[in-house]
Every structure is written in structure tokens, then in C-alpha cells.
């Protein structure tokens, strides 16, 4: 089995501390939605990921540590509407709070990607979309149901607890969603509150 592109074979890897072979590591945190302020859970994950990256660097390994934000969510649209600003303005402001964690937590990440504006993001998404389309992974279907924006899940009525989402305890909204090979469209029909 050959080496992955850009990877060094064990023989080509320079020796690190105590004669250990140097490796290459790509370390990435999850990318949170920017629908609110960063909280201790975000900080914990970033610090844990940072510890791994620093550990590997101290061992002499080549490390690339990436993090960022997922700016594409209905929650962000709703947050922007509530504040009377555009989704892009909202996302830029809130994503900045996540980026600011670098200084306050002394993080060592090499790269920060915002999915709404980073020019590297869209080509990868298009490549994945086209690969899925070529394999026939998409199909056209129309359906409707109770949708909880909080946990981004459709629920059957019998899955609700007292008419509320079992995870977020919010009242779900009735949605009709039509999917197809050119994307998807969702329409809010009415609230169950």
C-alpha cells in the first residue's frame, strides 16, 4: 500500500527527540454553529484539541491544527432576524467571538475557517456535492413534519413529550421540505405552540 499524497514514508521522516520518527498530524476540532456566544463546552474542546497539537509538536511532529465555525444554519437566520440585521452581519459578529478565543485561551491553531466566507470552503462543498450527485445519492422527495430548530431534527408526534421536543423542550414547528438534486427548500407552515 502506498503513502498518501504529501505523507513521508517512515524512512524519509526525520528523527525527532530521542531518535523517534517525526510524523505529520492534522488535528481539527468540530466547528460549532455561531448562533450564540461561545460557552465552556466550546472552550473545553478547543483546549483539549490544543493540548494534543502542542503535545505532538513537542515530540517533534509536524502538526496542522484547524478550527473554525459553521455559519450555515437556520438558527443563525433566526438570530439575525431577532436582531434586525442580515445573517451575514450576525454570523461575522458571532464568529468573531469564537476567533477571539485564540487569545483568551492561548490557543495554537494554525487555521480558522468560517464556512460562510472562507474562499476555500465552497470548492470542497461543490466537489463533495458533485461526487454524491454522480453516484446517484440524491433523490427528489417531498415530506412534512414537526421540526425542532434547536436540535435540527424532525419528530413524529408520538416522539414529542407533552407536545415538546424531547431534547430541547421547545415546541417544534410544522415544516414541509422538498428536496431534489438542485438542493433543498424548506417552508415553515405553522407553529404548534
Question: CA 76, 81, 161 angle in degrees (round to 5)?
Answer: 65
Domain residues of the chain, as ranges? 17-122, 139-191
Whole-number percent of the chain with pLDDT over 70: 78
CATH of 17-122, one of 3.90.78.10, 3.40.50.620, 3.30.930.10, 3.30.420.40: 3.40.50.620
**Domain over 139-191 is classified CATH 2.170.220.10:** yes
pLDDT in tens, 31-41: 988 888 899 99
Q: Is the pLDDT of residue 132 over 70?
A: yes
- Alpha carbon 163 to chain centroid, angstroms: 29
- Across the range 157-186, mean pLDDT stands at 68
Tell me the C-alpha distance between 176 and 192, whole Å. Answer: 14
- Given this model, what pLDDT does residue 25 score? 94
If one counts every other C-beta atom within 10 angstroms of the C-beta of residue 96, the result is: 12
- Given this model, what pLDDT does residue 174 score? 67
Contact partners, residue 191, CB within 8 Å, separation at least 6: 171, 173, 174
If one counts every other C-beta atom within 10 angstroms of the C-beta of residue 155, the result is: 18
Whole-model pTM: value is 0.68
- Most confident residue range from 40-54, 126-140, 158-172: 40-54
The reply to whether domains 17-122 and 139-191 share a CATH topology is: no
pLDDT in tens, 51-102: 999 999 999 999 999 999 998 888 888 889 999 999 999 999 999 999 999 9
Amino acid at each position: 500500500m502506498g503513502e498518501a499524497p504529501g505523507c513521508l514514508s517512515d524512512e524519509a521522516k526525520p528523527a525527532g527527540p530521542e531518535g523517534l520518527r517525526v510524523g505529520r498530524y492534522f488535528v481539527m476540532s468540530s466547528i460549532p454553529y455561531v448562533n450564540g456566544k461561545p460557552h465552556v463546552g466550546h472552550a473545553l474542546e478547543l483546549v483539549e484539541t490544543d493540548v494534543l497539537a502542542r503535545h505532538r509538536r513537542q515530540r517533534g511532529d509536524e502538526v496542522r491544527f484547524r478550527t473554525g465555525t459553521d455559519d450555515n444554519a437556520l438558527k443563525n437566520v433566526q438570530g439575525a432576524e431577532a436582531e434586525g440585521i442580515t445573517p451575514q452581519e450576525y454570523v461575522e459578529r458571532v464568529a468573531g467571538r469564537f476567533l477571539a478565543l485564540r487569545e483568551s485561551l492561548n490557543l495554537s491553531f494554525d487555521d480558522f475557517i468560517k464556512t460562510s466566507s472562507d474562499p476555500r470552503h465552497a470548492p470542497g462543498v461543490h466537489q463533495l456535492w458533485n461526487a454524491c450527485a454522480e453516484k446517484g445519492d440524491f433523490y427528489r422527495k417531498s415530506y412534512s413534519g414537526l421540526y425542532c430548530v434547536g436540535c435540527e431534527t424532525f419528530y413524529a408526534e408520538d416522539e414529542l413529550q407533552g407536545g415538546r421536543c424531547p431534547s430541547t423542550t421547545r415546541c417544534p414547528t410544522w415544516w414541509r421540505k422538498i428536496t431534489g438534486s438542485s438542493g433543498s427548500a424548506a417552508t415553515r407552515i405553522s407553529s404548534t405552540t
